[in-house]
Chains A and B, each alone.
Chain A
């Protein structure tokens, strides 16, 4: 009755989401009985996972898995899951995990429940709560298969320390050479926080009047170690790249803090940022619908408020460093 968790790493160390997922897997294992087995692919130090509840760590070190390939990664995880006799496999909501999870589910004959926001409501039968309608609602889904794959929603569980032995052992996988999809180039800013990983996101809308004013958003974001984002009209007008568009048809944001500047708060935008925990809205229009969805609001001109806020936050950071 093992719970398997895929712990993602980057540059040889585990991502924060790997620790969150291990914490969650421990919670699931407490309910189902059995232990937590983490799968690390060319990953970090197994002991790091032990702190959050991993009993065993299966370490896969394979040159074929040097770069991410959904088919190969899914095959590797399926091999470990079968070897460990896992009944539940936990994956994250990263772009890579969402890519491989359906392949893994088919390979294991498992139901796949994505966007799960809490520990299972029951484990026999397995019932989980997921976001649906792009964060406008939740669904309780009963999973009918013997083996299940659970995708934890971003920032939904948090880190919880647990004692785990984290007994590491090597696991050899058997992969087909040709996987059908070959990466030819990667274009990724390594010095910037991504929307997916960010704990704070600073987002700008049409109220900023033009791309030339985006330094206001960027400076505030830099002060907070935040990712930058934008509303749909801003990406449609080409002021900012599509990859920064958050909302129903863009990226979902589940940060701890979301600061919206000059965004009115259309229903589609609110859907995309609903899972963020604390929302601050800065807008000149006191009637902007976003204020109804905000925790803290400032009615004011971004060009006046944002530079002063950035300065004050710099001082705050300096004083609290």
Chain B
């Protein structure tokens, strides 16, 4: 089985979000970039398929050279090869189009992407890839088993979960649950040394027009001060929620 794990290169979850150039660009100053958490759960599940079922695991990213350390980290965790499509990740459609080309060229059976990246939160890349590839698609996937060309998966739905049966070729929009937080791997020295020798292919972008362009960013309006309520005067809280906030 050949697995492609799509890796988004995103600011660490603790990052302070600021913008530069008249609020048109993300301020990367002092920001640590990481593998998108939703992708990392998928990558770790792919490692399980590699170790238990002999799968080959490649990782791919659409971005400039600054995302290479993130791809190297994925190699250090255990992926066999990495592919970087050399183009800025302008919008979800463009990224899906590029990754679809990578997937077609590599002939992958299983493609795992995160349900969304934690920067743009678009959540469209896995679904668009599935549609472009004509592959089956399970989103918000919290459990995945592969047996030959058959797959069983569990999908999180609003208020519960559902089990599904499907088959390869398959695209997964993954999240926590594919593996547990405690299963995530920190690359060891041997992995890091080996990652340096593993192939990282840089391929040119396929011709495609982005569907959307961000013209500017805004930060939320600053919040008003908190109203503190005495724990001995809970009637005041109820009064405030009822008469001032009007939420009960």
Contacts and interface: CB of A to CB of B under 8 A. Distances in A.
A194 B124 contact: no
B164 A183 contact: yes
B242 to A, nearest CB: 7
B190 interface: no
A207 B12 CA distance: 25
Interface string B187-218: 00000000000000000000001111111111
B247 A101 contact: no
A181 B248 contact: no
Contact of B127 (A99, A195, A236, A294): A99
A40 interface: no
A157 interface: no
A144 B221 CA distance: 28
A185 B163 contact: yes
Contacts of A189: 159-160
B52 interface: no
B164 to A, nearest CB: 5
A144 B220 CA distance: 26
Interface residues of B, number: 80
A95 B140 contact: yes
A47 interface: no
A84 interface: no
Contacts of B121: 114-115, 131-134
27 contacts: A96-B157, A99-B127, A99-B140, A102-B96, A102-B130, A112-B211, A113-B212, A131-B121, A136-B219, A139-B217, A140-B217, A180-B166, A182-B166, A184-B164, A185-B162, A197-B158, A243-B160, A268-B14, A277-B247, A278-B241, A295-B226, A296-B245, A298-B228, A298-B234, A301-B231, A313-B238, A316-B242
B128 A105 contact: yes
Interface stretch (B53-61, B62-70, B79-87, B174-182): B174-182
Contacts of A183: 162-164
Contact of B131 (A102, A184, A277, A298): A102
A271 B92 CA distance: 22
Contacts of B38: 249
A133 to B, nearest CB: 5
Interface in A38-89: 70-71, 74
| Interface footprint category on A | 35 or more
B212 A111 contact: yes
A248 B123 CA distance: 14
A184 B165 contact: yes
B29 interface: no
B231 A298 contact: yes
Contact of A181 (B138, B175, B216): B138
Contacts of B137: 70-71, 103, 180-181
A238 B57 CA distance: 30
A141 B96 CA distance: 18
A30 interface: no
A305 B234 contact: yes
Given A70-B139, A181-B138, A243-B160, A138 B217 contact: yes
A182 to B, nearest CB: 5
A139 B90 CA distance: 13
Given A181-B136, A316-B242, A194 B17 contact: no
